[in-house]
């Protein structure tokens, strides 16, 4: 039986690498995007992975979108919550909109997507959920109270969901990537990026494929005893 995987924010960066890795491993894969239609079209042409557009922060849109995936491909067995945004600002300058936007997408999106698939997973007695958190959920980061709070919330959410799903064959795990060579990180000013790389013991950024390989491990059929875990992949920058 071919398992069906859905990767949110799956047309670029870590999400795209994850979607492609899952497809190469034999899964039937769909990816979501929001707003970056040209990038999604290019990704779909190159990878032959179907894409669906909706805002994961919107509960109703997420329900509708996952219903479309289920209709077109089948019920979701594997969910990778990768969609996320940043709206960086020190707290004394942060607007309410900046706070809410990040919380709603990065944390609210996990609730919305998991809520849309969890009942089906419980009925089928199988599910693999991987929620992408961040090193900054563990270490904190100047100018990211919203992002750090949302990504730390993802870890707590994942642990509670792991307890709820364990008896039904559903695992829930989080991955906390360190600084990874994506468009988001490449947008950091060059001088600051050099400082970041210098602070990483292995001396470089992660590649998206390195994060994707860890997702692939956690969603495997033989990973059923791993649940409620947070896998930190950060080149030794932050150790717990």
Mean pLDDT calculated for residue range 62-83: 98
Mean pLDDT calculated for residue range 180-202: 89
Per DSSP, the three-state class of 85 is coil
Mean pLDDT calculated for residue range 78-107: 98
Answer yes or no: 33 catalytic: no
How far apart are the C-alpha atoms of 140 and 113, rounded to whole Å? 26
Tokens encoding 188: 């950091």
pLDDT for the residue 229? 98
Tell me: the pLDDT tens digits for 31-41? 999 999 999 99
Which parts of 60-217 are beta strand (E)? 78-81, 127-132, 170-177
pLDDT for the residue 168? 98
Q: Which domains does the chain have, with CATH numbers?
A: 4-232 (3.40.50.720)
Q: What is the mean pLDDT of the chain?
A: 97
Single out the residue of 83, 72, 68 nearest to residue 116, CA to CA: 68
How far apart are the C-alpha atoms of 49 and 87, rounded to whole Å? 29
Give me the phi and psi of 85, to 5 degrees please. Answer: -135, 165
pLDDT for the residue 83? 98
33, 52, 147, 179: the catalytic one is 147
Mean pLDDT calculated for residue range 104-113: 98
**Confidence bin at 187 (pLDDT 50/70/90):** confident
**Confidence bin at 61 (pLDDT 50/70/90):** very high
pLDDT at 25 over 90: yes
Are 114 and 161 within 8 A, CB to CB?
yes
- The percent of residues in the chain predicted with pLDDT above 70, rounded, is 100
pLDDT at 2 over 90: yes
Tell me: the pLDDT tens digits for 193-220? 899 999 999 999 999 999 999 999 999 9
Are 184 and 132 within 8 A, CB to CB?
no
**Confidence bin at 109 (pLDDT 50/70/90):** very high
Tokens encoding 102: 């990040």
């Amino acid at each position: 039986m071919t398992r069906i995987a859905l990767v949110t924010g799956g047309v670029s960066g870590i999400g795209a690498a994850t979607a492609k890795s899952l497809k190469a491993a034999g899964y039937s894969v769909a990816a979501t995007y929001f707003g970056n239609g040209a990038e999604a079209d290019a990704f779909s042409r190159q990878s032959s992975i179907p894409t669906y557009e909706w805002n994961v922060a919107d509960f109703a849109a997420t329900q509708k979108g996952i219903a479309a995936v289920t209709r077109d491909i089948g019920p979701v067995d594997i969910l990778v919550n990768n969609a996320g945004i940043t709206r960086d600002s020190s707290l004394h300058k942060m607007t309410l909109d900046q706070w809410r936007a990040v919380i709603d997408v990065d944390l609210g999106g996990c609730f919305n997507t998991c809520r849309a698939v969890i009942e089906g997973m419980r009925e089928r007695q199988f599910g693999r959920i991987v929620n992408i958190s961040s090193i900054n959920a563990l270490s904190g980061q100047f100018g990211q109270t919203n992002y750090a709070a949302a990504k730390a919330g993802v870890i707590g959410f994942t642990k509670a969901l792991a307890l709820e799903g364990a008896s039904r064959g559903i695992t829930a795990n989080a991955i906390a990537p360190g600084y990874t060579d994506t468009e988001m990180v490449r947008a950091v000013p060059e001088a600051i990026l050099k400082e970041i790389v210098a602070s990483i013991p292995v001396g470089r950024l992660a590649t998206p494929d390195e994060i994707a390989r860890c997702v692939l491990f956690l969603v495997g059929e033989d990973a059923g005893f791993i649940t409620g875990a947070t896998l930190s992949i950060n080149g030794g920058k932050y150790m717990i």
